[in-house]
Structure 1
Amino acid sequence: MIKISTVQLWVHDQEAALEFYTRKLGMEVRADVTMAEMGGFRWLAVGPVGQPDIAISLMAIPGAPVMDPETADQVRDLMAKGFGGTVFLTTDDIQTTYKELLGRGVEFVEEPVEQPYGMDTSFRDPSGNQIRLAQLG
């Protein structure tokens, strides 16, 4: 059986992303390893408490030879527009979660609204990645 274990989001600043995903969203660190033999490459991953088999890798935008400067700029531009990636989160009580996250400083793009599949809202991380939060049902 194939399972999803890790998804990747590009981030401008791994420390700011770590702060946002752990302190504001309440996720936990899955991995934080810097590899000197790979030029100081840092593998940073977080995940939701209670879902130890799922992680989000918060990947710094690499330079050459992995990514040329023009491509890196394109990735940054897409992130700034909210199109660098999307994470979909669910909650059992969207109104309570919405208020809790607002209290932690999360800036929402919209208030929760009724959709055909349940209630839905969105916010962005410090790099501009879109996060959708839904109460399904």
Structure 2
Amino acid sequence: MKQGIQVVGLYVRDQDEALAFYVDKLGFRIHTDVRNGDYRWLTVQHPDQPSFQLGLFLPGPPVLDAATAQAARELVAKGAMPPLVLAVDDCRAACNRMHAQGVEFTQDPVERYGTVDAGFRDPSGNGWKMIEVRSK
């Protein structure tokens, strides 16, 4: 039996705002955007990883009750969720390109552990580490 992770979800405060950030600023593309009543299933993909999707979901029904959804929104806004990692071949160049697109960085590129990394957050507060992956 084959198994694998297909979608990892992020809680966002506004799906349209998140979609614009991930598509226009980070270069992802829309994979799925469907509605079922008030619920919207929205996923994006990085162009170099077509088998993996990042879900951009609002905290709330049908997955979370109102109190839990509010607590989740507050945690995301504070940057308290674990960071995601974006691998790039040139961290400084990617940082410059993303700065030009309006991405706000929480950490400028730093050389450590034999590579270069930087940090940024999406408009909802989700933290990202961008790490330079050197080819061997």
For normalisation by structure 1, the TM-score amounts to 0.90
Give the count of matched residue pairs: 133
For the 8 Å contact 1:108–1:121, the answer to whether it is kept is: yes
Code of the residue aligned with 1:23 in structure 2: it is D
Code of the residue aligned with 1:53 in structure 2: it is S
Q: Where do 4+ consecutive residues of structure 1 move more than 6 Å?
A: none
For normalisation by structure 2, the TM-score amounts to 0.90
Give yes or no for the alignment of 1:110 onto 2:111.
no
Matches within 5 A, 1:27-66: 27-35=28-36, 39-63=37-61, 66=63
For the 8 Å contact 1:10–1:84, the answer to whether it is kept is: no
Give yes or no for the alignment of 1:101 onto 2:98.
yes
Alpha-carbon distance change, 75 to 97 in structure 1, aligned in 2, over 3 angstroms = same
Q: Secondary structure at the match of 1:75?
A: helix
Partner of 1:6: 7
Take 1:130 and 1:25, find their aligned partners in 2: how far apart are those partners?
14
The RMSD of aligned alpha carbons is 1.5
Q: Secondary structure at the match of 1:74?
A: helix
Take 1:121 and 1:134, find their aligned partners in 2: how far apart are those partners?
7
Aligned-residue identity in percent: 38
For the 8 Å contact 2:33–2:41, the answer to whether it is kept is: yes
Q: Secondary structure at the match of 2:74?
A: helix
For the 8 Å contact 2:59–2:70, the answer to whether it is kept is: no
Alpha-carbon distance change, 54 to 117 in structure 1, aligned in 2, over 3 angstroms = farther
Partner of 2:121: 124
Alpha-carbon distance change, 49 to 66 in structure 1, aligned in 2, over 3 angstroms = closer
For the 8 Å contact 2:33–2:43, the answer to whether it is kept is: yes
Partner of 2:75: 78
Q: Secondary structure at the match of 1:76?
A: helix
